Structure 1
Amino acid sequence: MSNTISSAIATRDTGPGALIAQHRGDIELVMPSHMQKRVGAWIRTTQGLLRRNEKLLEAAQNDPGQFMAVLMDAANLGLVPGTEQYYLVPRWNKKKRATEVTGVRGYQGEIELMYRAGAVSSVIVEVVYENDRFEYRPGRDERPLHEIDWDSVDRGELRLAYAYAVMKDGATSKVVVLNRGHIAKAMAKSESANGKYPHLSPWSTDTEAMWLKTAAHRLTKWVPTSAEYIREQLRARADVAAEQGSTTVPTTAALPQPLEDDPDDDVIEAELVDGEAVA
């Protein structure tokens, strides 16, 4: 076997892709139970991303520990790296004077976590372009009116992003409406958007998706986003049952609809970025 081939095999066996496979057990352990059966596909998707993105591979090689920490975060959330659920982005570390991998949760990831908590029946997250019709007046409208001319070749520039959830009892969550100013503030706080490689940031490669993510993330202040919410409810019910001497163990189906006892679970007025109605 030539030295070149031997070197290539050594690099393959000790590189970030191999490191992911070596930690399969750890990844599977922290994943939500519904994801554990798909851990193989999860790993292959991540390995494929490294093969297609040289900058990302370089960043992962520079700091494998940081790379695995990011992957473990994605696994713990039950999100797939390298997708609109969870972006993997190279960023410049000034202290190390080298690139490293950082994780950026995408809008689909935010939505997935809301659904998984079990409190919502649907989540609506949309962007509004200049030529769209958009109306929402807090206190008058339960939900925004958004009309799009689908025949239009050009809908104009991005103007707004909004998000709300319909709870399982039919109530509407807080409606979040963000304008360009709020999106700009969110982008200004992004390390990936303001680092050495801003062109690799999802703010540059997938701008609309990051507007959606910003609105979805703001909505998470008002909507449960973790399956742990359900588990906590089950544990609380089990504790109560034990204290009462009941032999019946509560199940998820026996739980009340989440938030039904919350006085703010009725229609909540929107968070408006300008403090007035948007039209």
Structure 2
Amino acid sequence: MGLSTLKERVQARAAAVAPDEDIRHDRADEEAPGGHGHDVERFRADIEAALPKHVSVDLFMAALRPVLPNLRQCIPASVVQSVITCARFGLIPDGQQAVITADDRIATFLATYHGYIELMYRSGLVRSVVAGLVYEGDEWDYQPTARVGEDFVHKPNLLASKKDRPMLFAYAFAWLEGGARSAVAIVTVEEAEEIRDEFSRAYQRAEANGKKDSLWHTRFPDMHQKTAIRRLAKLVPKSAELRALIEVERAAEEGRPQILAAVDPETAQLEAEARRAARAAEASQDVPVSRLAVKTRGRAKPRRRNRDRNKRR
């Protein structure tokens, strides 16, 4: 079934679950009806239509059912759209490939770093991905100017407890089809914390309400590693599916509906490029525009000496 048709079906079904809420899942003042999460079973056909052919709907639903009780207080439309968004990428919401979390009564789909790696493999452009965390006491060396294969080395101290050692940085790189290797993406702990503090609304909200229950609170090493994987995604050839996943997670960060980016990745990509172009245009208003070189056409003008000689004749 076409993605545009799926988009229309999701909008219609979301309205059926909560007639007063559209797909934008605007927050309402009243509490969401308890137990609505189990209504997702009604959308089994829509979930199966969204899933890639190689992913079993039975496996997906089995992983989803234990998650639903945690989404009871979420707005119904957001539960539907997050589940179908997850299915669109063929990632299982089991905490390994993907998670669906409650963020201020909005159900939100997020891929784990394993999910990102899975989509890199599916693209057929990436042969293997190497990722890890470096702790104090590990043996490592990074020389960006050295020959590939000798520029980065990590030998973890397998016998030392990670609980007693500070984390230093996360890294990731990929070997591509054809034998080339990407640059090494490195994210220090300080960089990860800066990205978390600036861009994660879930972290900011969990800090403000004192619950400290966001993924950055409960699974910091995984989120740190994911940050390195997302940085790697900018360094390797990207499939349309991987570009769509990046846009879907950006939509969550900006408070926009994820499903609209997921079911129509080409439109989402064009909209993202238009937004970036608009921001660039606004930023350039105060910058003087340099004159462009003008390319003359036709025969070049004769040199002055030749013109003077012609006059004397």
Indicate the TM-score class for this superposition, using the shorter chain for normalisation. 0.5 to 0.7
Query: Is 1:213 the equivalent of 2:233?
Result: no
Contact 1:122 1:165 in 2 (8 A): yes
Higher share in helix: 2
Return the match for 1:103 from 109, 116, 131: 109
Aligned length, in residue pairs: 203
Larger Rg: 2
> Which residue of 1 is the match for residue 101 of structure 2?
89
Correspondent of 2:40 among 14, 17, 20: 20
- Residue type at the aligned position of 2:59: A
1-structure distance, mates of 2:147, 2:133: 18
Higher relative contact order (CA 8 A, sep 6+): 1
Please say if 1:48 is aligned against 2:100.
Answer: no
Which residue, 160, 171, 184 being the options, matches 1:152?
Answer: 160
- Within-5 A mapping of 1:1-279: 15-17=36-38, 19-35=39-55, 38-51=56-69, 56-60=70-74, 63-92=75-104, 99-143=105-149, 144-154=152-162, 156-188=165-197, 189-196=199-206, 199-226=212-239
Cα deviation, residue 79, structure 1: 0.9
Give unpaired runs (5+ residues) of structure 1. Answer: 1-10, 93-98, 230-279
1:228 Cα offset (Å): 5.5
Aligned CA RMSD, in angstroms, stands at 2.2
User: How many angstroms apart in 1 are the aligned matches of 2:241 and 2:53?
Assistant: 12
Please tell me whether the aligned partners of residues 89 and 192 of structure 1 are also in contact (alpha carbons under 8 angstroms).
Answer: no
Unaligned segments of structure 2, at least 5 residues: 1-32, 243-313
- Kept in 1, the 8 Å contact 2:99–2:112? The answer is yes
Q: Deviations for 1:124-145, whole angstroms, at most 9, x for unmatched residues?
A: 1111111112211112042420
Fraction of identical pairs, as percent: 29
Distance in 2 (alpha carbons) for counterparts of 1:59 and 1:107 = 27
- When normalised by structure 1's length, the TM-score is 0.67
TM-score by length of 2: 0.60
Q: 2:201 is aligned with what amino acid?
A: E
Q: Deviations over 1:10-64 (max 9, x none)?
A: x99x7212x22111111111222211xx11121121111224xxxx23333xx11
